[in-house]
Amino acid sequence: MARMTVRTAAKALGVSPQILEEYLERTGKMEAIRHGKRVFIPSHEVKALLEEKKRQTQSVNAPPKDTASEPPVGENTISVPASHYEALLEELGRLRYQSQLLEFYRTEAYEKNALLLEKEHRLGQLEAELAQLKKPWWHRLCRL
């Protein structure tokens, strides 16, 4: 059985290796053979995907049919150029990273706020003790 590396398969498909790896993980439509740390894809899988891509391109370029009686096929599927898809994935990665940072800072701010409230409470107690200690000794003795 002929097989290709992920990099070679991605080049043949016209996408980046990262996009292809994500596609493999997300969909599981293509068979991936792991050999140690390397990942190989059977060449017949890549050819089948290329043919499917070609068919989709032809169907997009084909003249519109009378679809009044037929339900829409792939209603939830859209096609975007690979470069735009990669840009969207990069932006998604950045947004996820920012979301993680935001959650970290939010948690940190909450903890600092709780510590600040504790310190303010302790400060109030210490000020009350200091006010008691500043009174003359006879006031403390008589608790006036």
Q: Each residue of 15-51: pLDDT tens digit?
A: 888 888 888 777 777 777 777 778 888 888 888 878 8
- End-to-end CA distance of the chain, in Å? 97
Angle (CA) 110 98 19, round 5°: 150
d(CA 89, CA 84): 9
Q: What is the pLDDT of residue 125?
A: 96
Q: Which residues of 66-88 are buried (b: 16+ CB within 10 A; e: fewer)?
A: eeeeeeeeeeeeeeeeeeeeeee
Mean pLDDT comparison of 13-22, 65-74, 94-103, highest-scoring range: 94-103
Angle (CA) 107 110 115, round 5°: 125
Q: What is the dihedral of CA 99, 104, 107, 113, to 10 degrees?
A: -110
Mean pLDDT comparison of 24-28, 87-91, 124-128, highest-scoring range: 124-128
Residue 39: beta bridge partners? Answer: 34
State the pLDDT confidence band at 137, using cuts at 50, 70 and 90.
Answer: confident
The predicted model gives 105-134 an average pLDDT of 93
Q: What is the pLDDT of residue 3?
A: 81
